[in-house]
A = this chain, B = another copy of it.
């Protein structure tokens, strides 16, 4: 196992109506001037916006607001929001939404306090050392950004998408009311479930030995998400299943499932090449297409780990031998993604083979780079994966 640092300072409040406490919570921290940051306005339709505003007002907090955060949050809106925070002397940023809104808020926080352009952080030219604290009211279970150290922005002029990671940007608090996710569409729910599972899978498949605790916790999370994912597709208003997914989204990406391991998110890297080529491909859709293909090439190198997923998560009987179980598990996972309504082949999205070479070049920086986890994925292997998933 590897030496690790574990740092999850985000305070979580999970339960019905917790969003109504937000004013009280912020007041107890001692903050006074809030930036309310949100997306396309669905929070106004659902009434969440009104509840949040009421809670802030009842706590006697002053606030300004900036909506309009888009999926793949844009650096231009971050810049605009930074200016507003500085002008209004905001001392807490409240992100009401999912991963995009939270990531936007994180970028605003580090830029507004330092007066450094947000893209400098994304490009890795400056490392943030402080932030205006970010609080979250989560509305979708997916990205894990509510407890994570990561932030991804897009520069719409160059269409470059870049992320940075640092403990500084872990949110101060995260308010999670599972009922807020009842209205998430079936497809977005399926994408979220896929995303959560992938955050764990990508940390699980390494050759690190001997730290069983992280393996066992990862399998526990995967099992939970697999089951809860089925339930919410049938009954979107199942409170417990929504709560399981919500808490799993945080634990899958806050560090818990990675400690002691030297992991690299190779399927995510392949997925970035896909969505960087086909803008309409949802992050999770890229993963549900690519992961089974990657797994079919990789399982030989970690039969026992794949077999445990099959037995413990995918309900494969233990009487089946590990190698066979591993393969059966991959098949079941693929079927599971299909049941959720996720694509599992490029053809499901109408994507042909004509850009495979380009995507493989993007992934590998024209054949110069490769990523090694339980197998090495270079340009040739990337092409093999794309072709398996065609």
Q: For A224, give its contact among B14, B213, B221, B251 (CB under 8 Å).
A: B213
B14, A7: Cβ atoms closer than 8 Å: no
Q: Which of A43-51, A112-120, A239-247 contacts B (4 or more CB under 8 A)?
A: A239-247
Residues of B within 8 A of A223 (CB): 212, 216
Give Cα A14 to B2, complex, Å. Answer: 9
List B contacts of A227 (CB < 8 A): 212
Contact residues of A between 1 and 51, Cβ < 8 Å to B: 1-9, 11-16, 18
Q: How far is the CA of A21 from the CA of B379 in the complex (A)?
A: 40
Whether A296 sits at the interface, judged by CB under 8 Å, is no
Q: Does A66 contact B (CB under 8 A)?
A: no
Q: Which of A236-270 contact B (CB under 8 A)?
A: 239-240, 243-244, 247-248, 251, 259-260
Chain A residues bordering chain B, tally (CB within 8 A):
40
How far apart sit A217 and B13, CA to CA, in the bound complex (Å)? 19
Known contacts A212-B227, A213-B221; decide if A8 and B8 are in contact (CB<8 Å). yes
What residues of chain B lie closer than 8 Å to A247, measured between beta carbons?
Answer: 211, 213, 259-260
Does B3 lie within 8 Å of A7, measured CB to CB? no
A12-B18 contact, Cβ under 8 Å, with A217-B221, A224-B212: no
- Chain B residues in 8 Å Cβ range of A282: none
Interface 1/0 per residue, A210-231 and B, CB below 8 Å: 1111001101110110011000
Given A14-B259, A220-B219, A243-B260: A248 in contact with B213 (beta carbons within 8 A)? yes
Other-chain contact of A211, B219, B243, B318 (Cβ < 8 Å): B243
B residues in contact with A239, CB < 8 Å: 210
Max chain B Cβ within 10 angstroms of own Cβ: one of A1, A12, A213: A213
A5 CA to B15 CA, complexed, in Å: 9
Cβ contact of A213, chosen from B3, B18, B211, B220, cutoff 8 A: B220
- Given A216-B223, A217-B220, A220-B219, do A244 and B4 touch, yes or no (CB 8 Å)? no
Chain B residue contacts of A217, Cβ below 8 A: 217, 220-221
Question: B1, B8, B220: which contacts A240 (Cβ < 8 A)?
Answer: B1
Q: Specify the chain B residue showing the minimal Cβ separation from A247.
A: B213
- Of A3, A216, A223, A318, most buried by chain B (CB within 10 Å of CB) is A216
- Cβ of B14 and Cβ of A6 under 8 Å apart? yes
Q: Are B212 and A228 in contact (CB under 8 A)?
A: yes
Top 7 A-B pairs, shortest CB-CB distance: A3-B15, A210-B240, A216-B220, A220-B220, A6-B12, A213-B224, A9-B9
